[in-house]
Amino acid sequence: MRRPRKSSDYREYYEVLRYRKGEKVLEDFPYSGRVKVALIFPNKYNIASSSLSFSFVAKLLNESGIVCERFFHEGWFRKYYSLETQSPLDEFRIWAFSVHHELDFFNVLELLKNKGIPLSWRERNKDHPLIIVGGALTYFAPFMFWEVADAIYHGDLEEYLEKFVESLLLNEKGKVLSSLLQIPSVSIPPEGKVFKKLATYENLNDNPPYSHVIPSYGEFSKRLLVEVGRGCIRRCKFCVAGHTQKPVRFIKPNVLKKIVEKYKEEKFGFISATITDYPWLDELLDVLERYSIKFSVSSMRMDGLNLRLLKLLKKSGQKTFTVAPEGGSQKIRDILGKDIEEEDIENALQVGREAGFDRIKMYFIYGLEEEREEDLIAIKELADFARSLGYTKITLSLNPLIPKPRTPFEKRAMLPFRILREKFLFLKKILRDYRLTFEGIRESILQYRLAFADESLSREWV
């Protein structure tokens, strides 16, 4: 790619190049061919680089004969250069958005505006790029992008990868859409076609998902991300993963062992709904110990923790013990369907101290209609208990309940802003001795509205 001459383009070009130079490329591709797909994560690089699915989809498409290059979003970008070759977005005729958070809907709109592309498919023609949307949001919020996307892929790409690639290779907007119509897990809004089922891929061990690049920035910086399991055996009533990604699938230990041995010089980040539900955890830990591999995990259940796992995480450099009681009181935990008891929480906090952690972060949900003042006070009591065990830095993440489609809570309404604010201010008052992080109430309500958007609301947003 020739360096841009305009100073604004030059700054943007080098911003992208800086991130690319910070990546360690484990598997590279030629990036030359007839059909080019821009895979776009509609958020900052630090967030995009923490998404295994974003990296893995790029890997899948490139292995299948598509030239797929990754892009990320900054509000001030105008040209949008690819990470792989710093090619401008305008050179790509197929734009595939990987969307994982409700509020990234607005980043997709902003990117299209920045590029002068009409937001609605109704106003675009054959000369505009083909807009495809996929990602975690499509598992439970199928109509959010109904007015924006030419096509929406719902579920696991691997399930219909061959047909999807065959469609893209047609490389002409009308022909691609006609071919995508035949995939049961694809919606085609311009044709009024709604997907028939979520794509669910069961043979994860045939092509185990792991990242082909290791970033220097982001939550999982300098780590090779590997998916350990997809879906969740738990059925927390507020959580999408346990109700949309079924059946639960795990990567077999011999498959993980091969990946670990191949890249044993790297640090690893293991991705799953909860690592403590992985059936062969001890076998995985045996391999990691054998090669003295440092690693981190995306999530752990409090009732499945063991001292060995926590000691290895501490040895790997993890400074903060992170857990999610979700409810301070047993009543709230039962309503949420967490299936953990007071004893499980106390034991987990004690094991954390035994492993050497003196920093802890705990996640809590507030804003249930059954919630009373004593349930909020129970959050403080749990924090006080952690302090009594010797945790010196305690962070509490407080987030209002956001009911999601396709969960047992989908019929619940989110509490009004006024009531949520009263609850939050009360929590802030009684927890003033602790460090708090929280999601804004207005942003949470907006997420709720977006998640339940139908075709008409999608049109209203656009």
For residue 94, being part of any structural domain is answered with yes
Query: What residues of the chain score a pLDDT lower than 70?
Result: 1-3, 5
Last residue of a domain, one of 191, 213, 242: 191
Closest CA to 349 of 374, 317, 381: 381
For residue 100, give the CATH number of its domain. 3.40.50
Tell me the whole-structure pTM to 2 decimals.
Answer: 0.96
| Domain, as residue range, for 91 | 7-191
For residue 15, being part of any structural domain is answered with yes
Last residue of a domain, one of 151, 173, 191: 191
Task: Give the other-Cβ count within 10 Å of 100's Cβ.
Answer: 20
Last residue of a domain, one of 191, 207, 224: 191
Tell me what pLDDT residue 5 has: 66
Tell me what pLDDT residue 244 has: 86
One domain for residues 146 and 11:
yes
Alpha helices in 71-160 (DSSP H): 104-114
One domain for residues 331 and 182:
no
For residue 25, being part of any structural domain is answered with yes
What is the domain count for the chain? Answer: 2
Task: Give the other-Cβ count within 10 Å of 42's Cβ.
Answer: 26
For residue 418, give the CATH number of its domain. 3.30.750.200
In whole angstroms, give the CA distance from residue 135 to residue 156: 8
For residue 223, being part of any structural domain is answered with no
Distance from the Cα of residue 132 to its chain's centroid: 18
For residue 201, being part of any structural domain is answered with no
For residue 272, being part of any structural domain is answered with no
For residue 79, being part of any structural domain is answered with yes
Tell me what pLDDT residue 1 has: 56
| Burial bucket for residue 57 (CB in 10 Å: 0-12, 13-18, 19+) | buried
Task: Give the other-Cβ count within 10 Å of 410's Cβ.
Answer: 14
Tell me what pLDDT residue 135 has: 97
One domain for residues 163 and 19:
yes
One domain for residues 186 and 330:
no
CB 126 within 8 A of CB 41: no
For residue 341, being part of any structural domain is answered with yes
